[in-house]
Amino acid sequence: MGDSNMKDFTPNELNRRLEEQYTEIARLAGGLAHEVKNPLSTIRLNMGLLEEDVEELEETPQQKRVLKRIETVKRETLRLEDLLNEFLSFTRAHNLELNAADANSELKEIIEFFRPQATEANVAIREYYSSDLPTIRIDKRSFDRAILNLLLNGLQAIKGKEDSEQGEILVRTRPCGSEVAIDLIDSGGGMSDETLQKIFEPFFSTKVGGTGLGLPTVRKVIEGHGGRIAIQSEIGRGTQFTLTFPAIPRISDK
């Protein structure tokens, strides 16, 4: 009976119903994640207080074992909180407020925030901004987080590369027809074809302790801007992410 009813819908109606169902599931899942965060925060806070009390006790083998177990609970609780925060970002990635922005200025602002981490890791940042770049529409908060996520991925890839004393991340903007393209290229270890096929799957991660939601969230954010994300990578040579966003037509282009 269910299949018969589904056949009565036009493709547009079916897509609308599926979108409504997805939105409702995302809302419920986000609400559940938010509710779970509260007791987790309470647990972590109380474990910290318990740790302080135990540290005041006489140092014995038993006291050391208790402290070690408390530290384990605190670490795992923090890991769960990070996972929930990433999941909430993933479920909210479609809820964007787009405003006109200059991609060059926005990227420069993000780079200045990111630069101290790169400098500490001995990673140079090369910037190449087109002087004739059309305006795009972005949701500043989600756009900034998406770009920062990709920069951090590049930094981690460089730090994880064997025999790498210094790395490089290249940031480039360029007009691309009726779109604006942003290239983020790192000199890290690159990814295999198998990894590339799974890289945007939720909860897939090659990092120890990774949530596997960072890149899926980035893709949802870029697509929520009406854009696209493409990736090229080669083992031993690095990775390139290319983001494209619709440009706002100029008066001369109309």
Provide the CATH number for the domain around residue 84. Answer: 1.10.287
- Extended beta strands in the chain, E state: 99-101, 123-128, 136-138, 167-176, 179-186, 228-234, 238-246
Cβ neighbours for 132, distance < 8 A, ≥ 6 positions apart? 175
- Predicted structure pTM score: 0.70
Query: Last residue of a domain, which of 91, 119, 140?
Result: 91
In CATH, what number is assigned to the domain containing residue 163?
3.30.565.10
Within this chain, do residues 32 and 131 fall inside the same structural domain, yes or no? no
Determine the pLDDT at residue 1: 44
**Residue 2 binned pLDDT confidence (cut-offs 50, 70, 90):** very low
Mean pLDDT (whole number) for 206-224: 80
Write down which residue in 61, 91, 121 finishes a domain: 91
Nearest alpha carbon to residue 137 among 245, 249, 250, 254? 245
Do 110 and 86 share a structural domain? no
Length of the chain (residues): 254
pLDDT in tens, 14-39: 556 655 655 666 666 666 666 777 78
Q: List Cβ neighbours of 229 (8 Å cut-off, separation of 6 or more).
A: 218, 219, 222, 223, 241, 242, 243, 244
Range picked from 80-84, 125-129, 210-214 for highest mean pLDDT: 125-129
110 and 223 fall within a common domain: yes
Q: Which pLDDT does position 29 carry in this prediction?
A: 65
Q: Identify whether the C-beta of residue 47 lies closer than 8 Å to the C-beta of residue 6.
A: no
Residues 36 and 18 in one domain: yes
Range of the structural domain that residue 74 is part of: 2-91
In this predicted model, what pLDDT tens digit does every residue of 162-184 receive, in sequence order? 665 678 999 999 999 899 999 99
Looking at the fold, whether 107 and 49 belong to one and the same domain comes out as: no
Per-residue pLDDT, 184 = 96
Domain count, the chain: 2
Provide the pLDDT for residue 4: 46
Identify the domain boundary among 58, 91, 124. Answer: 91
Contact 48, 74 (CB under 8 A): yes
| Res 63 pLDDT > 60 | yes
Residue 196 and residue 167 share a domain? yes
Radius of gyration of the chain (CA): 23
